[in-house]
Structure 1
C-alpha cells in the first residue's frame, strides 16, 4: 500500500522474526479493517525479506479459497507447478517442495476463511503441519481472532491483536488520502474528534477520508452523525471486506450462534465494554447462559478485543452492531441498570479507589441511566447523580444524567426530584467557579424546595448562595445570607447545617483579615462538628485555622495545624481535603521563599488533584508554580505556566481563575518594566473581575495599575489610583489590601522626597499590619522607613532600622526580605565610601538571592558591585560586571535594569574619554528609559 502510517515497529518486529529464524511461522491477528493485509504486504517488501527469499515470497488470498483442496490449487498456481499425469495435486506440491529446498515464504491472507470454514479445522491443521515439515518453508498468516492456527511460535505485537493506529498516524493517513483541501485546513480539532469516534481503525479512516475528497467537512460530520458505518464504503453494487466496513464486520457476525448474538448486542450497547468481565459479566447478565463460551467465540472472530481483563468493541463495530442487532429484551436493560445501581453503591465505600473504579465504567453508567430515565425517572437515578457528583472527574456525566432527569421529570411533576437536581447542578457550577450559573440554579432550587415545603432543602440552598457571595468578595451579603441560613438550620434542628454556616461565617471574617473573630467562630464550629461526630467538618475548620496562622505569618503554627488536618482528611478518605492541605503547605514554603520545597509540594498536590479529577485544584497549583517562577525572576517559565493555567481555568469555566492568571501575567510584564502591556492586561483582568462580581480582584488590579504609574514617575495618577483602591479595600473589609495601599502611598511620598509625609504614612501602615497580625507587611514598612533614613544620609539610623528589619524577616522565615535588607545595608556602605564592607555585604546578599532563586535580586547586586568597581576606577572589572548584569537583566526581561547598566557603561566610556562610544550608549539608554515611560 502507498499510504501507510504508524506501523514501523510492527514491520521491523515481523520482518526481523522472519529473517532471523531459519523457519518462521508468524500470525498477524486482529479484527477486520485493522490493516493486517497491508502490514503483511509491507513486511514482505522489506529488503531483508527480499534478500532471504529472493523471488520466492508468495501472497495467497484465502478469502477466495473455501477449503484445503482449493488452497493447494492456489499454491500450485502461485508456485507455477505444471500438472503431471497420474499425480494428485498434493503429491505434486510435495515433490516440488522436496526438490526446491531454498527458503520460501507463503503469505496466507484472510486465513480465517479456511480456519472457520464449514469443513472444520482438522483438514487444514493437518495440511499446515505437512507444510511445516519442510524446514525451508516459512508461513505468515493474517487472520481474525485472538489465536492463530496450530502451534504458533510468535504472535505479532504484544497486544492480543494488531492495535488501532495512534492519533498522529490516523491524522497523517486521513490527510494523505483526503488531501489538503481548503475546507480541511485549520479544522484539525474537528477531524481529530471524528477519527477518535472511528477508534483510529485504518479501514474506517481510509473510507471516510475518501469521502472527504468530495464532501465538505461540515457535510461529512453530519453524514457520520446520521449514517454512522453505513457511509463507510466505496463504490456501488457488491461490497467486499475491503470496500465496506459493514460488510467486513458482518463476515465475522455470520460465524456466531444465536446465544452469542445476544451477548454481542449487550457489549455493543456499552461504550466501556465489560470491565473485569470474568468478575462482572455473570452479575450483569444473570439470565444469560454459557457466557464464558460466548465470550471465547466473540474473541475468536475478533468482534471484541480483550485487554487487562476487560473486553470491549472498537467503535465502527459497536455502531454497526447497535444498528443491526440492538438489545431486544427490556429484561436485559433492567438487569444492567440493577447491576450498576448496586455496583455504584458498593464502590463509594472505598473512596481511595473510587475514581479509578468509576473511570472504567462511567460511560456505561451514563448511557444505561439516561436510557432508563427516558422510560421513567426513579429516585435511584437521583442517587446515582449524587454519588457521581462527589467525584470531580465525572461532572460531565452528572450534568448529562441530571439534564435528562429535568427534561423527563416535567412529565411526572415531581418537584422534589427537580429541586434536588437543580441543587446538584448548582453544586457542580460552584465547584467549577461558575458563580452566576450556580446562583441561578440554587435560586431555582430554593424556590422549588419552598413550594414543596422542604425547609431543609431551602436552607441548604440559602447557605450555598451565601457561600457564592463569600467567594465573590461580597462579604456583607454573604454574612446576611449565612446568618439567615444558620437560624433556619437551628429552627429545624439541623446541627450540621448550623455548624457549617458558622464555619462559613468564620471564613468570611478570615477573608476580611478579621483574624480574631474568624478564629473564634471557626474554633466554635470545630467544637460543634466534633460534638455531632462530623470528622470532615472538624478537619475543614482545622485547615482554615491553619490558614489564618499562615496569613498572620505564623508559619510554624500554620504548618503544624495544616499537617494535622491533612492527616485527618487522609484518615477519613477525603483525598480532596488532603490535597488542599498539601497545596496550602506548599504555599507556606513559597511565602517563606523556600521555593524548592514549595515547588515539590505544589507539584505533588497538583498530581493528587489530577488523580481525583479535580481540575480546579490542579489549575490552581499550576498557577502557584507559575507565580513561584515569577518570584524567582524566571519570567518566561512563569509566563508559560500561567498561560497554561489560564487555558485550563477557561476550559473548566472558572472565570475567576482565568482572571487571576491574567492579573499574574500583567504583574510579570510590570516586573519586566513593560508597562503598556502590563497596563493592558491588568485593565482587562480588572474588567473580568468586575464582570463576575469579584470586587477584591478588581481592586487588586487597580492597586497594581497605580503601582505602574508610580514606577513610571507619574505620581499624581498613582496617588489617585492607590487612594481609590485603598477606599475600595476598606469598603469590602479587606484590611490587608488597604494597608498595602497605604504603604505604597507612603513610598510615593518617599520618592518625592516628602520624607515627613512618607514616614507618617508608613508608620500608620505598619501599625495596621501589626493590628491584623501581618508580620511580613509590618517588616516591609520598617524596611521602607529604613530606606528613608538612608536617602536622608542618616546612615546610622538607617543601618539600625534595616538590621532590625532583617532580623524580623529572618524570624518569620522571609529569606527574600532578609536578602533585600542585606542588599540595602551594602548600599549604605557604598554611599559612605566603605567599599570593602559594601562588597562583602552585596556579595553575600547576591549568594542569598541565588540560593532562593531570586535572579532579579542577584543581578541587582551584581549591578551595584559593578558600580563600586566603577567608583574605585577599576573600569575593566566594572565593565565586565555591568555587561554581565545587563545581559542577565535582558534575559529575565527587566528593561529598567538593562537601561541602568547601559547608562553606567556609557559613563565609564565618558570618564575614559571615549566620547563617541559614550554618546552612543547614553543615547541608547535614554531611548530605553523613554520607552518604558521613565522621563
Structure 2
C-alpha cells in the first residue's frame, strides 16, 4: 500500500502542470455551460412570443372617453405614475390601457418609451424578468444575472419610461407565492423615472404601492346602454333588420349586463343570426354562445375568461361562489347579512376576500353581486349542491322580512334590494312544501310599492302547485292578486271586477274587514281613474265600516284618500279638514309614513292657494320625515313641490336646481309620472323667462309622458301650459286650440279650478284678438 501511494505521489509531481491545465479546462467548460444555460433561460420567452400575446388595439371602442381622459390626465400630470386598471375578466381593461397609451400626450411625455408586457404568458418572477429584457431589447451579458442586467438598464437609462404590465394577476397569483413578485415590483418603483400602468383582475393594485385606480371604487364599470348598442351595431355591420329591432337588441345586451367582451362576441354572431335567434340562443345556452372560433382563449370565450379567475380559488371559495351566483340580487349589505345567511360556512371572511380579489364578484355601496355572464356560467358549472344551504337562505329571508316590518322603516326600499332573491328562494321552496311562512311573505310583499309582479308570481305558483289550500287561504290570495295587484299594475277594469266579486263573497260570509278593504281598494281605483264621485262614495262607506269594527288605521287611510280626492278637485277647504284629521289619527297610532304623506298633501294645498310660506314649511317637514324613514319617492315629490313653490315666487334659479334634482331622483327610482311633472314645471320656468322654444320642448315631452302612463290631469296641465306659451308669443289660434282641449279635459275629470283657469285664458285671448283687430282697422 505504501509503495502504491509513493507511485501516485510521483505521478502527480511529474504531471502537475498537465493536471492543472485539465482542471482549468473543466472549469472553462462548466462556465461555458452556465453561459449557455443563461442564454437559454433568457430565450425561453422570445420577443415574438410577447408580440403574439399582445392583442391588437381595438378599432371599435365606445363609451370609454371619460376613462381614457382620466387615465391620460393622471399619467401626464404625475411625476411618477402608478395607474391601476382593475375589474373582472371581459370588462375591457387591456383595450382601455392600449387606448390610453395611444394618446399623443402620453407618447410625448415618454418620447415613445412605452413598453407593453403581456403578463398572462409570464407566470412567475423569472419569466416576467425575461419578458422585460426581451421587450426592452436589453442585450445579454454572460457575466451577469438577468436581474442585474435589468437593474443596470434602469440605472443607466434615466429618461422617463412607462411599463404596461397587462393581466398582472397571472404572476401575482403565482404558485411560487407572492413574496418574490411583490419584492420585485416594489424594487422597480424605486427607479423614479419609471412609471407603471398595471391591468389586473381584482379590486386593488398589487403590493404596497399608492396606485391610482381608474374609474369607480370597484374598478372599470360595464358599458352604458348607448355604448353597448353602438358597439353591437358597429361589429354586426349595421344590418337593417337589427337596426329595426333596437328594442330587442337592447333587451339582449341588458341580459349580458353590458359586459364588453360579451357584447363583442354576441355581435359577431349577429352577423349571421337574426335577433330572435340570438335571444333564443342566449336563453338556451347562456354563456356557451359567447365564443368566437374553436379555441379557448380569454379574448374569444367568456367562459374561458371567467374560468381563469375561478381557477384561483380553493374549495370554500368555489362553494361561496355557487351560493352568490344563485342570488340574482347578490348579497345586499353583505357585511351585515352574509354571516346571518350562512352561519356555518367555514372561513367565510377569507372566501369573500378571495372572490373579491379575483373580481368574480363586484362590490358597490355595501353590496356584492355578479355580472350576468359570470352568474350564468357559475350556476351552470358549479350549482349549489346542499339542500341545507337552501333552508338557511329561506330561514334568513323570512326572519329578515319580519324585522323590516317590525322596524317600520321604508319597506319598499329594503325589499327592493332583495326582491329577486326572495322570489327565487320562496318559489323553489314552495315547490317542495308550502309553509305558513310563504303566505306571510306574500302578505308582506303586497304592502310594498312596485313589487306586485313578484307577488303575482308567488301567488300563481301557490295556486297552481298546491292543491290542499282551504277556502280562506284561496280567497285571501285571490283578493291580494286580483284586487290590489291589478290596481297597482293599472289593470283597473279587471281589478274592479274581481274586487266587486270578493266584496260580495265577504258580505256573504259576514267578513266586515274583508268588505271594508274591498271598498277602500275600489275607492282608490276610482280615484286613480279620476272618477271622483264613485271614489268618494266607496271610501265613505269603507271609512264607516272600518270605524264600526274599530280599525283606526283603515279609517284614517280612507280619510286620507278622501282628502286627496277633494284636493285633486280643487276643494281645498274640505281637503284640508280631512287631511288634518287623518294626520292626527296617524300620529295617535304611530304611523310616521302616513303622517309625512298628509303633511305633503297639506303642503300642496297651500302651494295651490299661493300660501308660499305655509307650503314651504309643510313640504320641508314632510321631506325631512320621508328622508328619515328612507322613502326616496316621498322626498322626491316634496322636492318637486318645493321647486314649484320657488317658481311661483319668481325664484327661478333655486326652482330649477330643486326640480332638476327631483327629476333625477324620479328617474333613478323609475317614477315616470314624477319625472314628467318636473319637466312640465321646468318648462313653465322657461316660459316665465321668455325662453319659449325650450319651454315648448320640455312641456311637449312631459305631455307625451303623461299620455303614455294615462295621467289625464298631467296631460291637461301640459295642454294648458302649451296654450299659455302660444298666447305669450301672440299665436292666438294655436293657443285657443290648446286651451280649449285642456278645458274639456279638466271638465272631464272634474277639475273645476283647471277648467276655470283655461276659460280665463281664453277670455284674455279673445280680448287681445279684438284689440289687435281694432288696432289694425
Q: TM-score, normalised by structure 1?
A: 0.63
Give the one of 282, 293, 298 matched to 1:224: 282
Choose which of 400, 413, 420 in structure 1 pairs with 2:476: 420
> 1:836-861 CA distances to partner (integer Å, 9 max, x unpaired)?
xxxxxxxxxxxxxxxxxx87677667
Root mean square deviation of aligned Cα: 4.4
Q: Deviations over 1:888-920 (max 9, x none)?
A: xxxxxxxxx3xx45532431xxxxxxxxxxxxx
Match of 2:705 among 624, 641, 644: 644
Measure the CA separation in 2 of the matches of 1:392 and 1:276: 21
Pair 387,554 (structure 1): closer, same or farther in 2 beyond 3 Å = closer
Go from structure 1 to structure 2 and tell me whether the alpha carbon gap of 1:458 and 1:88 turns closer, same or farther (over 3 Å shift). closer
Pairing 1:188–2:206 present: no
Offset of 1:137 from its aligned partner? 2.0
Report the counterpart of residue 507 of structure 1 in structure 2.
540
Structure 1 residue 682 displacement after superposition: 9.4
Contact 1:579 1:605 (C-alpha < 8 Å) held by counterparts: no
Provide the residue aligned with 1:314 in structure 2: 371
Provide the secondary structure at the position in 2 that maps to 1:26.
strand
Do the aligned residues in 1 keep the contact of 2:572 with 2:605 (CA within 8 Å)?
no
1:860–1:292 distance in 2 versus 1, CA, 3 Å: same
Find the partner of 1:565 among 570, 579, 582.
582
**1:642, CA displacement in angstroms?**
3.4
- Encode CA deviations 1:489-524: one digit per residue, 9 max, x unaligned: xxxxxxxxxxxxxx955637xxxxxxxxxxxx97x7
In structure 2, the CA distance between the partners of 1:631 and 1:4, relative to structure 1 (3 Å rule), is closer
Shift of 1:42: 1.2
Q: Aligned pairs, how many?
A: 665
What does 1:477-876 correspond to in 2, within 5 Å? 507=540, 532=550, 534-535=552-553, 537-538=555-556, 540-541=558-559, 544=562, 555=573, 558-559=575-576, 561-563=578-580, 565-566=582-583, 568-569=585-586, 572-573=590-591, 575=593, 578-579=596-597, 582-583=600-601, 585-587=603-605, 589-590=607-608, 592=609, 604=639, 618=674, 636=696, 639-649=700-710, 657-658=711-712, 701=748, 863=768
> Structure 1 residue 34: deviation in Å?
0.9
Task: Determine if the alignment matches structure 1 residue 73 to structure 2 residue 130.
Answer: yes
Kindly indicate whether the alpha-carbon contact (under 8 Å) linking 1:429 and 1:438 is maintained by their aligned counterparts in 2.
yes
Structure 1 position 58, deviation (Å): 0.9
Q: Which deviations, in whole Å up to 9, do the C-alpha atoms of 1:587-615 show, x marking residues without a partner?
A: 5643x467999899676477699699796
Within-5 A mapping of 1:166-205: 166-205=224-263
| SS, match of residue 485 in structure 2 | helix
- Deviates further, 251-260 or 394-403: 394-403
Question: Aligned equivalents of 1:565 and 1:627: distance in 2?
Answer: 34
Secondary structure at the aligned position of 1:215 is classed as coil
The counterpart of 1:152, out of the listed 189, 192, 209, is 209
Return the alpha-carbon distance in structure 2 between the equivalents of residues 246 and 621 of structure 1.
46
> CA separation in 2, counterparts of 1:24 and 1:626?
45
Q: Which stretch has the larger CA shift, 420-429 or 395-404?
A: 395-404
2:764 is the counterpart of 1:903: no
| Partners of 1:526 and 1:541 within 8 A in 2 | no
- Secondary structure of the residue aligned to 1:404 is helix
Distance between the aligned counterparts of 2:568 and 2:537, measured in 1?
A: 18
CA, structure 1 residues 616+539, in 2 after alignment: closer, same or farther (shift >3 Å)? farther
Shift of 1:68: 1.5
1:283 aligns with 2:340: yes
Post-superposition CA distance 1:53-89 (Å, at most 9, x none): 2232111111111222211111111111222223322
Instruction: Pick closer, same or farther for the CA change 1:377–1:207 going to 2, 3 Å.
Output: same
1:235 and 2:105 are equivalent in the alignment: no
Cα pair distance change 1:166/1:640, threshold 3 Å: closer
Q: What's the secondary structure of 1:133's corresponding residue?
A: coil
Aligned equivalent of 1:693:
none
Distance apart, 1:51 and its partner CA: 1.3
Per the alignment, in what secondary structure is the counterpart of residue 240 of structure 2?
coil
Give the deviation of 1:341 after TM superposition: 0.7
Structure-2 separation of matches of 1:20 and 1:469? 61
3-state SS in 2 of match to 1:139: strand
Structure-2-length-normalised TM-score: 0.74
* Aligned pairs (5 A) from 1:15-54: 15-54=72-111
Q: Is the 8 A contact 2:165 2:197 kept in 1?
A: yes
From 93, 115, 120, give the equivalent of 1:63: 120
Tell me if the contact between 1:630 and 1:668 (Cα under 8 Å) persists in the aligned partners: no
The answer to whether the 8 A contact 1:666-1:677 is kept is no
What are the superposed Cα offsets for residues 311-332 of structure 1, whole Å, 9 maximum, x if unpaired? 1111111111011111111111
Per-residue CA deviations over 1:37-61 (Å, capped at 9, x if unaligned) read 1111112112122112223211111
d(CA) in 2 for partners of 1:475 and 1:129?
Answer: 74
Deviations 1:549-586 (A, max 9, x none): 9979573x753553453465467335357436634652
Deviation string 1:79-110 (CA, Å, 9 cap, x unpaired) is 11222223322222222222222222211111
Provide the C-alpha distance between the structure 1 equivalents of 2:337 and 2:570, rounded to a whole number of angstroms. Answer: 54
Q: 2:394 maps to what in 1?
A: 337
Pick one of 198, 208, 212 that aligns with 2:270: 212
Q: Secondary structure at the match of 1:391?
A: coil
Residues 470, 103 of structure 1: alpha-carbon distance in 2 compared, 3 angstrom cutoff: closer
* Superimposed CA distance per residue, residues 754-774 of structure 1 (whole angstroms, 9 cap, x where no aligned partner): xxxxxxxxxxxxxxxxxxxxx
Is the contact made by 1:10 and 1:156 (CA closer than 8 Å) also made in structure 2?
no
The alpha carbon displacement at 1:179 in A equals: 2.7
8 A contact 2:235–2:267 mirrored in 1: yes
Question: Which stretch of structure 1 is more off in the superposition, 97-106 or 295-304?
Answer: 97-106
- Asked if 1 retains the 8 angstrom alpha-carbon contact of 2:699 and 2:722, the reply is no
1:280-305 per-residue CA deviation (whole Å, 9 max, x = no partner) reads 11111122121101000111111111
When residues 666 and 59 of structure 1 are mapped into structure 2, their CA distance, relative to the original with a 3 A threshold, is: closer
Partners of 1:331 and 1:135 in 2: CA distance:
56
Greater alpha carbon shift after TM alignment, 632-641 vs 265-274: 632-641
Corresponding residue number in structure 1 for 2:353: 296
Q: Which residue does the alignment assign to 1:384?
A: 441
Alignment of 1:354 onto 2:224 = no
Displacement, 1:445?
Answer: 5.1
Change (3 A) 1:351 1:624: farther
Show structure 2 runs of 5+ residues with no match.
1-57, 620-636, 642-661, 725-731
Distance 1:53 1:624 in 2: 53
Deviation, 1:399, is 2.0
Aligned residues of 1:273 and 1:313 also touching (Cα < 8 A): yes
Question: Taking structure 1 as reference, are residues 630 and 391 closer, same or farther at Cα in structure 2, changes over 3 Å only?
Answer: farther
Q: Give me the whole-angstrom Cα distance separating, in 1, the residues matched to 2:261 and 2:116.
A: 20
